[in-house]
Amino acid sequence: MRHRRPRSSDPHQPRRPRWRRNAATSRPAPDGAARPPAGAAILYGWHTVKAALQNPARRIRRLYATANAARRLAEEGVALALEPEIVRPDVIARRLGPDAVHNGLLAEADALPSPDLEQIEPAGLVLVLDQITDPHNVGAILRTAAAFAVRAVVITARHSPEATGVLAKAASGALEYVPIVTVQNLARTLATLRERGYCLVGLDSTGERDVREASLRAPLALVLGAEGKGLRQLTRASCDEVARLELPGRMKTLNVSNAAALALYVASERED
């Protein structure tokens, strides 16, 4: 039978720290050491982490990399502000879950600041998301926004996913290129955009006319609603007009991220 040493009753004798397995490094770590700091963004995947490392505005707190990923970063000349912790691929997989495609890279970073709407130049295109909650969709929309040189993506403080984890992976680096403006009241924000000269066009399957026939003058704000619910009533009423995507096939609606891509393509061709 195994006997435990009796705990000292001396109040001045320090207690030994409890240790647990650090999922990020596979080394013992004191309680709390492996938890991401409050407010930290978890970034993983090659394009996501590489773009963050190349963004001078992004502060990386910790960087975990496999030996192959670290070698690839060096070969591509990616400057590192801190030394990566070299780990096995399964160590990162245990941290993220079995379905996460991490490509040997995981970073804990400070969240990027949300600019004020007034800091965005009233020109070109902005996207406004009306309570789109799926992080995969928002990430895909950000990636498309970066491809079409969108000036900013506006989201609500509530009913919007955080810019971390799955969203960051789906964005594939676009978090570093497209500012996210977080607002409290979407109707007031749309009124502010109108005052700043924006044309407000909502996109909804019940829109009055096809988006190719809509007024798409610059500066333009395209307003997208959540799948299923579409644009909320007040959001819809705040738009100058609501347009739809006229589709030739039997399926008349698209995933919101696909709809955003088509609408941005039409807007970029029509913008004057």
Domain borders along the chain are 19-110, 117-270
* Percent of the residues in the chain that have a pLDDT greater than 70, as a whole number: 85
pLDDT, tens only, 214-226: 989 999 999 999 8
pLDDT, tens only, 173-189: 999 999 999 999 999 99
15 pLDDT above the threshold of 80: no
Q: If you ran DSSP here, which 8-state letter would residue 1 be given? A: -
CA 24 to centroid of chain Cα atoms = 22
40 pLDDT above the threshold of 80: yes
Torsion from C-alpha of 164, 51, 141, 169, nearest 10 degrees: -40
Q: Which residue has the tokens 């709809």?
A: 259
The pLDDT score that the predictor gives to residue 229 is 82
Stretch 25-31: mean pLDDT: 33
Provide the 3-class DSSP secondary structure of residue 212: helix
152 pLDDT above the threshold of 70: yes
Stretch 256-267: mean pLDDT: 95
**pLDDT higher for 12 or 105?**
105
Stretch 260-267: mean pLDDT: 96
pLDDT, tens only, 67-120: 999 999 999 999 998 999 999 999 999 999 878 999 999 999 999 999 999 999
Range with the poorest average pLDDT among 11-15, 51-55, 124-128, 136-140: 11-15
The pLDDT score that the predictor gives to residue 271 is 58
253 pLDDT above the threshold of 60: yes
What angle, 0 to 180 degrees and rounded to 10, lies between the N-to-C axes of helices 135-147 and 256-270? 20
Per-residue tokens: 20: 């647990």
Instruction: Pick left, alpha or beta for residue 209 (phi over 0 → left; psi -120 to 50 → alpha; otherwise beta).
Output: beta
pLDDT, tens only, 186-244: 999 999 999 999 999 999 988 989 999 998 999 999 999 987 788 999 999 999 999 99
Question: To which CATH superfamily is domain 117-270 assigned?
Answer: SPOUT methyltransferase, trefoil knot domain (3.40.1280.10)
Q: What are residue 60's DSSP bridge partners?
A: 109
The pLDDT score that the predictor gives to residue 12 is 45
24 pLDDT above the threshold of 80: no
> 37 pLDDT band (50/70/90 cuts)?
low
What predicted TM-score, i.e. pTM, was given to this entire model?
A: 0.83
Q: What are residue 107's DSSP bridge partners?
A: 43, 63
